[in-house]
Amino acid sequence: MATQRTYIAIDLKSFYASAECAARDLDPLNINLVVADKSRTDKTICLAVSPALKSFGLPGRPRLFQVEQQVAQLNRERAQQVHHRLGPKAVEKDRLLKHPGYQIDYLIARPRMAYYLQVSDSIYQIYLKYVAAEQIHVYSIDEVFMDVTEYLKLYHTTAHDLAKTIIHDVQDHTGITATAGIGTNLYLAKVAMDIVAKKIPADEDGVRIAKLTELSYRKYLWAHQPLTDFWRIGRGSAKRLEKLGLHTMGDIARRSLGSLAERHNEEDLYQEFGKVAELIIDHAWGYEPTTLHDIKAYQPSDHSIGSGQVLATPYPYDKAKIVTREMVDSLTLELVKKHLVCDQVMLHVAYDTSSLTAATAAVTNDYYGRQTPKAAHGSVTLTEPTSSTQVLRQAIERIFAAKVNRQYRIRKITVTVNHVISEDQAAATVYGEQLDLFQSAHQVARQQRVQQARQKERKTQEAILKLQEKFGKNAVIRAADLQPCATLKKRNQEIGGHRS
């Protein structure tokens, strides 16, 4: 019989905001702070809100204007409660609680992604003091899973005490606190952290640790709503489940018990979700067969590399085309740098809501429920894998010309290269037209010219990469990338779409 595993999931609390507080020697549990680039529009998304500011009712990732509006509303309510104009502004939670007549204020920290990666790495080194790298899965910059099954015996401790020790060590060294979930599988650990830990009182250090088993999960969370609180249930999936009359995990579990003779049974789920229904049903019962070892051993059958950006303002067709070229150029350099090639390129273009008119044929709703023209999407499959900027540019321009509406303004562009393999793999496979005895001298000469041009382009790409590695990504850029509408120069100074 297989040993029952014990997993710990750790989530660094409001990581970006806590890191900024720690850098200023401030307590994130007491200081109101948001991480946002206020040099952009007030519609920019806040990367994080400090736990102190969240305690006043602000959500985790609002837009900057929403923070301004909510804080203004909170101050109006405070003024009504004290029956006079508010006094000084304060960013400290304890001062605001002590003085109801003070105005709620907050600090705005500009995102620093390179710094956050550095802090995340230092925290990972702390994890390694307790658990080997083979037993840790880094889920995101601020979240990890650990299989601590063998370590509980080694340290003669419980999962709760081990999680608490690790979290306190992180807090002592970085000033950043965390939340933890403990479960008998990865799913239960994640749900314990995401849902249960948020509802239990914190200890004196602000730490929350929750635990779930399959039975306690069914007892306490089968009636929990909304479904989107659960791991891997997004808004779209929740709507499809609601369409089937399923509003809770308990509803899904009960539906899966229905016999084929009954009107409703698990076939409803399989017809709606296909193979994914099996995962949804497993999770409804608190099951998760995938182990951390499975994750470590997983090798995807297909690889892709993508780049997407939301434009600061709606772009017309011609300007958006320039940005799309920049994105292709960056992707091809990434392929060359990693010695990779691809044989398919895809383009996805989302239009701005301002493009919607009465004559718009295809209409859809965006993330916020607003009507907008249906996005443009297309792909081109190449005759052979390549990392040629010229080839991939030509392919993306063909898609752009064929699929993108010239009359609409564009808000979001995503470029993806698919079927990515190593150059060695590509070299071992025969693609496209090969030289044979029946080819004319003209055909042979043409192929040789193409090959020479590719070799020349490759040398140029490698030279650009060397210069960028030595002097920075903006050391070599095309003249077209200096146009006011271009975004490459600015994006080269960012990590994950935010300032580095």
Q: What's the whole-number average pLDDT of the chain? A: 88
Residues 385 and 432: beta-carbon distance below 8 Å: no
Burial class (CB in 10 A: 0-12, 13-18, 19+), 418: middle
Any residues with CB less than 8 A from the CB of 288 and at least 6 apart, and which?
185, 186, 187, 188, 282
Q: Which residue has the higher pLDDT, 491 or 453?
A: 453
Per-residue pLDDT averaged across 38-55, rounded? 89
pLDDT in tens, 244-269: 999 999 999 999 997 766 777 889 99
Q: Is the pLDDT of residue 42 over 90?
A: no
Tokens of 47: 């990367």
Q: Which residue has the higher pLDDT, 481 or 243?
A: 243
Q: What is the pLDDT of residue 264?
A: 78
Q: How many CB atoms lie within 10 A of CB 136?
A: 21
Q: How many CB atoms lie within 10 A of CB 29?
A: 20
Q: Is the pLDDT of residue 396 over 70?
A: yes
CA 327, CA 310: separation in Å to the nearest integer?
12
CA distances in angstroms from 181 to 191, 207, 222, 374, listed in the order given: 7, 11, 18, 40
Q: Is the pLDDT of residue 228 over 90?
A: yes
The DSSP line for 67-107 is HHHHHHHHHHHHHHHHTS----EE-BHHHHHH-TTSEE--E
CA 401, CA 321: separation in Å to the nearest integer?
9
Q: What is the pLDDT of residue 336?
A: 92
Q: What is the pLDDT of residue 498?
A: 58
Question: 12-21, 52-61, 224-233, 475-484: which range is least confident on average?
Answer: 475-484
Q: How many CB atoms lie within 10 A of CB 28?
A: 27
- Paired with 377 in beta bridges are 348
Burial class (CB in 10 A: 0-12, 13-18, 19+), 320: buried
% the chain with pLDDT above 70: 91
Q: What is the pLDDT of residue 99?
A: 94
Q: Is the pLDDT of residue 398 over 90?
A: yes
CATH no., domain 222-293: 1.10.150.20
Residues 395 and 380: beta-carbon distance below 8 Å: yes
Give the 3-state secondary structure of residue 18: helix
Predicted confidence band at 437 (pLDDT cuts at 50, 70, 90)?
Answer: low
Q: What is the pLDDT of residue 439?
A: 59
Predicted confidence band at 494 (pLDDT cuts at 50, 70, 90)?
Answer: low
pTM exceeds 0.85: no
CA 210, CA 106: separation in Å to the nearest integer?
30
Q: Is the pLDDT of residue 343 over 70?
A: yes
The domains of the chain are located at 15-109, 222-293, 304-499
% the chain with pLDDT above 90: 64
Measure CA 402 to chain center.
30
Per-residue pLDDT averaged across 448-476, rounded? 80
CA 17, CA 119: separation in Å to the nearest integer?
12
Give domain 304-499's CATH number out of 1.10.3720.10, 3.30.1490.100, 3.40.50.300, 3.30.565.10: 3.30.1490.100
CA 142, CA 144: separation in Å to the nearest integer?
7
Q: Which residue has the higher pLDDT, 495 or 40?
A: 40
Residues 30 and 39: beta-carbon distance below 8 Å: no
Q: Is the pLDDT of residue 178 over 90?
A: yes
